[in-house]
Amino acid sequence: MDSDLPESDAARALTPSAVARDVPRPRLLSRLTAAMDEPWTLTVLSAPAGAGKTRLLTQWAHIIDADDEDTAVVWLALQRGDTDLEPLKYALEGVDDEGLRAGLARLSGNWSTDTARALARSLRRASRRIVVIIDDVHVVETDQLAEMLSSFVNAVPGNAHVVISGRGTRRVPLARRRIAGIALELDAKDLAFTPAEVRSFFRARGVSLSQGEITSVLRRTEGWATGLRLLELAALHDSFATVLPLRGDSPAVTDYFVEEVFAELDQELTEFLVLTSVPDSFSPELASRLAGGAPAASMIERLIRLNILISRQGNEPVLYHYHPLLREFLYARLKDRGPTVVEALEKAAAEWFAEERNHLVALSHAIRSRDEASMSQILRQSGMQLVLSGHTDEVLAAIAQLPRSVRAEPAVQMLIASAELTRGDASVAAALLESLPVAEESNISRQWRKGLDLHTAVRRGGLAATLDRLDHLLDEVTGESQLDTYVSLQAAMAELYIGHLDKAERLARFARDHARAADTPAAELQAAAVMNTAELFRGRMREVLGSGARLDERWSELGRPDDSFYEVTRVWRYWVPFEQMRAANADETFRAATDIIESGAEPAIARGLRGMIALLGADTAIDTHSAAVSLFENLTPRDDMPLPVHWYAMMSGFAVRAFDRLGEQSLRDRFIVEIERLLGPKGEVAVLHALAFLHDQEHAHARRALGPVLDGSFPCLLPASMVDAWLVAACLDVQEGHPEQAQLSLSLALALAEPEEQIRRFADAGPVVARLLAARATPGSRGRFADSVRERLAAAGILVDEELTRRERIVLAALSRHATLRQIAEQEFISPNTVKTHVRNIYRKLGVSDRDSVTAAAHALGIE
């Protein structure tokens, strides 16, 4: 058996030279080294051309040569035309090891699987560990050589380790070996460059990349090593920023694919690749349609076995995806065949994706097909669905490419109006509506107009008049699921905004069910948000948290889409623990609120959220006047930016107290006037007036304002507003010297607040309520919930400082006897200024502002 090779072939039995500026890849090198210590003796690298297999193994071989004297590396690059393992025997003979050479000398006879096994067994005689790297195994052309390789690999002893590398191991039978055990397998995903490796790659070449540029590089190359090098070559001719979006049809990329990929493919596979480059990803069914009906599964399987730059995505349905640069290269080849061929394939892709209800992708292919009929049909079928799903920009872009005659059709004009409204531009939508003829409208057109009228009113105001005009039409449906969903959703929003919670929930439930059936996540989330908000307005705090948790699960199932209305429900889930004075993550809420504010798509909601943020930050504001102005600007109702009346009822009591704490009574009174203009004769308005009078020490006016609420003449929108009413009543009872009645009012407030733990209102009610709670004078103020209120108020520091000191009690007793400040000072041997300080503290703690009220308050609170 002669082991001499021609000089031209001998070079492939040498380890390649290290490449200058090559990036070390320690995460992979360490895995290769660790694999040598596994009980199995085989490592496999299988990845497409240009994935960096050879360079990685070259780095590893040189590290072993430099650092490990007890290990010898043998390298062999297979070539087309090889028929046996003679080149491998030649490479092994180059190892300086007498035992190995003696073993190799005993080999004789013609090459066969037995000879291959004998070659492997000869490695046992080596005094060192032998690492055998066999590169380019994909070039194996004969079954005979493949069987020899398999026999060699399976017979390798424990003092050796074999690494086979190539674009695939399709001819080398490894199934049984995989069952027995393989130390390590690396594929294209493993070899793909990480962000840190991309940074190191370009830094070694004198180019510093930002994080955004690294992201762009990875998006274009998917970490493909050759993609990075092609990008580097392109950068030699231009600035890096210019060539960053490297295209698959650039000269350098084209040359590479022609030489390295297409050279190995037959005409049938080449044609399949080109025809299926139209979509970003494809199923076997779509591939068959694009390829003229030919079966696609076998072609895809061949491409996978050949390790062409193709990857599998998902399970149902299974989709396949070409590397971005390869797809662009293929698409450029397709365009060489002329626009007719390209547009026909784009139209076929659009039709298939429309059938699969992948509306956005269908629309993008229809646009590229330039087929007006296809674009028009897809817009009619799924335009509303795309709008409901938040893809308004894509819809408007597609409509812009339609002929003027098609754009002028009423249905298309209404779709434009809906998209503009959803995008936040109510003026354009209103102008379009006014220009459309009303006479001889079809049922579909009337339904469109109804939805747009409601949508416009939600955006710009006029809700009550619009609902009065359309009330008898709200339950009409056309059978067009997308359109009916849109109309029901806008009607639900309108009913919610004017305070009809039952109608809002019913319409939202209808819209949610139809949205699920039509697969419109944005519409489904908006409908769920309406129902969640209605629960909040009904005071059902626990249900808000429960339905919010279920909505979180559904949001995750839908792929976590960016959605303004879903973010609103997250705000409510902060507001509930805020009202209950439980720990809550305010930063998370502010982040969610900021996302909505920055989106600009819901300006009225954004304004309301700014008001909530201002309200939560009012007590820590440095500039109290600016804080009050921000409250007024964002919480005061505006006709052109409507929000739910229940929301104003919920915020207004907190706002009035905040104005008082900020010392801005003028803004407070203007705010109450605007709330009254919106809500009318509601209990919340009367409570606001009573709060203002109570703060201003106008107790008789406060009692008169509160009377219609307590006797039921002015019903409240929110259950919690009655808690506020009875707390104000308790404060007034104290001021009027009625201790028993004060405790009864407190007990009623506690009973109303207990079911949903509305504790925040007790904290905001002031020192009189805190003192009544601390007194525990009635069974109602000694119950479990009252204890919870005291605990949370104490944890917040509200009860701690409200106890009168011993000296303050002495001063209070003297005040009750009508002693003057000078007399008290002389009696207690303190200065008149010190007495004044004690009196101010007493007034603050008892919630009074003059001597006439202090005796009655002390008596009512039982602290004379």
Contact 169, 31 (CB under 8 A): no
Rounded-to-integer distance, Cα 563 and Cα 555, Å: 9
The per-residue pLDDT for 242 is: 42
Mark 212-234 as b/e (b = at least 16 C-beta within 10 Å): ebbebbbebbbbbbbbbbbbbbb
Contact 225, 55 (CB under 8 A): yes
548-573 pLDDT tens trace? 999 999 988 887 877 778 888 888 88
The per-residue pLDDT for 235 is: 58
* Tokens 């059978």 found at: 479
Residues lower than pLDDT 70 in the chain = 1-11, 170, 175-180, 233-250, 252, 309, 314-316, 433, 436-441, 583-601, 776-781, 799-803, 844-850, 852-853, 855-864
> Residue 540 half-sphere exposure, CB side, CA atoms within 13 Å?
12
Residue 173, beta-bridge partner list: none
Residue 361, beta-bridge partner list: none
Angle between helices 683-695 and 699-710 (to 10 degrees): 160
Residues 6+ apart with CB under 8 A from 679: 645, 648, 649, 685, 717
Contact 805, 766 (CB under 8 A): no
The per-residue pLDDT for 416 is: 85
| Three state DSSP letters for 642-692 | CCCHHHHHHHHHHHHHHHHHCCCHHHHHHHHHHHHHHHCCCHHHHHHHHHH
- Tell me the pLDDT of the chain averaged across its residues: 84
Angle between helices 410-423 and 392-400 (to 10 degrees): 140
The per-residue pLDDT for 21 is: 76
* Tokens 């793909």 found at: 192
The per-residue pLDDT for 839 is: 83
Residue 197: CB atoms within 10 A of its CB come to 20
The per-residue pLDDT for 436 is: 67
6-63 pLDDT tens trace? 555 666 778 888 877 788 899 999 999 998 888 888 899 988 888 889 999 999 999 9
DSSP 311: E
Q: What residue type is assigned to position 718 of the chain? A: L
The per-residue pLDDT for 584 is: 61
Cis geometry, peptide bond prior to residue 317 (ω within 30 degrees of 0):
yes
The tokens describing 112, both together, are 């066969």
* Tokens 């009050």 found at: 628
Residues 6+ apart with CB under 8 A from 303: 269, 272, 273, 310
318-367 pLDDT tens trace? 888 888 888 888 898 899 899 999 999 999 999 898 888 788 888 889 88
The tokens describing 6, both together, are 């021609």
Residue 98: CB atoms within 10 A of its CB come to 11
The per-residue pLDDT for 263 is: 72
The per-residue pLDDT for 862 is: 59
Task: Look at phi and psi of residue 130 and say left if phi exceeds 0, alpha if psi is from -120 to 50, else beta.
Answer: beta
Rounded-to-integer distance, Cα 241 and Cα 239, Å: 5
> How many helices (H) does the chain have, and how many strands (E)?
48, 8
* Tokens 């919610």 found at: 496
Angle between helices 683-695 and 665-679 (to 10 degrees): 170
Rounded-to-integer distance, Cα 338 and Cα 143, Å: 42
Rounded-to-integer distance, Cα 628 and Cα 223, Å: 54
Rounded-to-integer distance, Cα 51 and Cα 31, Å: 17
The per-residue pLDDT for 717 is: 94
Grouping H, G, I as helix, E, B as strand and the rest as coil, residue 367 is: helix
Query: Model pTM?
Result: 0.63
